A and B are shown apart, each in its own frame.
Chain A
Amino acid sequence: MRKLLIAAMMVLGVLVGLVAAVPAFATCAPGSGDAVNACAAVPQSITLTGLTADIDFGSVSPGTTGTVTGAEAYTASTNDSKGYDLTVTGSGPTLPCSVGMSGGGFCGTLGGGSADVLPNKNDLTITETASAAGTLLPGNAASSGVTIQATTSASSNSYSEDWALSVPATQEADSYTETFTYKLQAN
């Protein structure tokens, strides 16, 4: 009986030691005697750096494609171990000229109805040339946007994008505008 009691105490001792050891890795203990503990807290954060607020295609003749090389160049980073999701989305069907048009579009300022819009779905291409290289078609994405990159660990990535806008040969003469939103979400 006494041996059984000793055995149980040994098992309990192992478990207590294990539990006690866990906080030692997680916290900074105060110094004692002549010992000095150096402790540094690194705050968890997420950052979007260098996003340009405007992109200008200038004058694009009907039947041609306007391009802006390096339209966007920015960095997304986090020291969070779960990483981030980075997406881009167009206005969606919120602008008067693109009601019912999923993926949104470039609206003409003269308000000529459906003929006075450049749908993102048909006409816009974004090409990633640095991280997550490839072609994005924001007009084909759901309203939550098209994913540029999703990471699952602490990460810092630089992105560079070329934008291209194809203008049909019969497009009405007008000045067209659209709003895009880049979303950087901590996972």
Chain B
Amino acid sequence: MPRGYSVTISPAHLTAPADAVTVSDTGTTVLHIVTQAVSLGKGCSAQSEVTWARVSPASLTLHPGQSRTAHVHLTDVPSGRHDLGIVFETLGGKKGNVSVNGEVSAHMVVGTGGADPCSLSAPQHHASSMTLLLAVSAILALVAIVAIGALLTGRRRGAHHR
């Protein structure tokens, strides 16, 4: 039995125009959660809130076992690809010297085109899958062409011998 709070969000990844993220209280305490959309500044700068994306509801309360779906709203998205963190922050208590907040964030990809210079590794995964598929296709096509060429050459030689 967890002694603190427990939060699950699903999906962990989404790509616009998908906009729904479900948050669940998987523990035994009531959760007070605030939401926000931040730019994933990994590799460039600290995470920062973006003005063109917002999450609704902005705050919610969940009882143990409850779930709720939040939606991401995009307005006037800057051109290019952007990696956002859709953040669900559970606020800490006030009983001790230290109050501990817990954030769980989904990774949302918005837009297309050149990779966000601060983006995470997601685009490389998609790129590598496509590259692999093309490479396999090219190899199979090459093998087929060589085999057919060998077959035709063999037949010509057979005809010359005859």
Query: Taking beta carbons and an 8 Å cutoff, which residues of A are in contact with B?
Result: 3, 6-7, 10-11, 14-15, 18-19, 22, 43-57, 71-74, 78-82, 85, 106, 142-144, 152, 163, 165, 175-187
Q: Which of B4, B11, B105, B140 contacts A45 (CB 8 A)?
A: B11
- Does B2 make an interface contact (CB < 8 A)? yes
Bound Cα distance from A180 to B29, whole angstroms: 19
- What is the chain B residue whose CB lies nearest that of A15? B137
Q: Which B96-118 residues sit within 8 Å CB-CB of chain A?
A: 96-107
Instruction: Find out whether the CB atom of B96 lies under 8 angstroms from the CB atom of A55.
Output: yes
Hey, what's the 0/1 contact readout for B15-45 against A, CB within 8 Å counting as 1? 0000000000011010000000000111000
- Judge whether A55 and B98 touch: CB under 8 Å: yes
Indicate which residue in A80, A152, A175, A183 contacts B103 across the interface (CB closer than 8 Å): A183
A183 to chain B minimum Cβ distance, whole angstroms, is 4
Asked if B133 lies at the interface with its beta carbon under 8 angstroms from chain A, I say yes
What is B's interface to A at a CB cutoff of 8 Å?
2-13, 26-27, 29, 40-42, 46-47, 85, 89-90, 92-107, 120-122, 125, 133, 136-137, 140-141, 144-145, 148-149, 152
Smallest beta-carbon distance A161→chain B, Å: 11
Identify whether the interface residues of B are mostly helix, strand, loop, or mixed.
mixed
Contacts of A144 in B (CB 8 A): 41-42, 46-47
The smallest beta-carbon distance between A24 and chain B, in angstroms, is 14
Q: Which residues of B contact A57 (CB under 8 A)?
A: 96-98
> With A144-B41, A181-B101, A181-B102 in contact, is A18–B92 under 8 Å at CB?
no
28 contacts between A and B (CB under 8 A): A7-B152, A11-B141, A11-B148, A14-B141, A15-B141, A43-B10, A46-B104, A47-B6, A49-B2, A50-B5, A51-B90, A54-B95, A55-B96, A55-B98, A56-B95, A73-B3, A78-B12, A82-B125, A144-B46, A152-B121, A177-B99, A179-B98, A180-B101, A184-B102, A184-B103, A185-B105, A186-B12, A187-B121
* CB of B71 to closest CB in A, whole Å: 17
Q: Which residue of A lies closest to B7 (CB)?
A: A48
A50 pairs with B3, CB closer than 8 A: yes
B101 and A179: CB pair below 8 A?
yes
Other-chain residue from A14, A44, A179, A187 in contact with B120 (beta carbon distance below 8 A)? A187
Are A180 and B12 in contact, with the CB atoms below 8 A? no
